[in-house]
Structure 1
Amino acid sequence: MPPKKSKTAKVNTRRKAKSSTTAVIGLQAASSLLQSAVTKYGKSAVTTQKYAQRISQGRKWLKQLLESEEDLEHPAGCPQLAAEKEWTDEDLEGAFGQTPTRASAYVLSLLISIKCFSEECGKSTAEGFHAAWKQHWDKA
């Protein structure tokens, strides 16, 4: 009596190699393709819009803070914001710029503190500001 064949026949799982049809494209075309893919698949339009709003709010708040610092008189024992952490005025003014400065993390924490504790915004507000600035600085 011949041996029984197994019920599961061996299937050829190898696929035929596809020939590459990808053409060599230039650096500029590849860069624009990457940018469009990031725009299309990176974040939703609403998230991108909300992040832009958070960036704008942060810059507006920092501008108002610096203007109020200039108007204040600093009596003895009351340090100026720039002198508190040995930052220059340029570090503070550029804290919410395209690239972060030495003062950026501290200024962002001040903004989040004001929003959460003074204006009584929630945890999502803090996370929104953090995520927006993280993405903004990661792009730089």
Structure 2
Amino acid sequence: MLSKTTYDLLHWKWGTISNFLYKCSGIDTPELVNEKVISLVDAGIAINCAYPLVLRPDRKVKLILSFDYGPFDPFQTLKQAAKYCEENCIPFPKVDEKLLQDPDNPSDCYIFRGEGAPTVMHFPLFNKVNCP
């Protein structure tokens, strides 16, 4: 038992997990059934929110409700998402930096609309309406 545990610890790769769909019938996506072990990536590592997953073109997202509960800049995830989308040619509304000038006293809701991009409604948790 100790030797098997030691072997598994020495050969373990971060983010890998046994694929419970391996060789499962009735699933049309071969990527999900052909691999015995799959690798997972936390969507929050780069941006600390799931923007990259939501913004896939096949999802046809029209509205994103963005909630920022971080203790620092209440617009950090929004700015990171805009930058990520620009770098990866993903449609995202223009984030007007003039609206984000006062991170210590934000409004309760910001709305960003874009042509061919989803509308983003951003809600900082700590704001001048519910936390004066």
User: Smaller-chain TM-score range?
Assistant: under 0.3
- TM-score, scaled to structure 2: 0.27
Structure with the bigger percentage of helix: 1
- TM-score, scaled to structure 1: 0.26
Structure with the bigger percentage of strand: 2
Greater radius of gyration (CA):
1
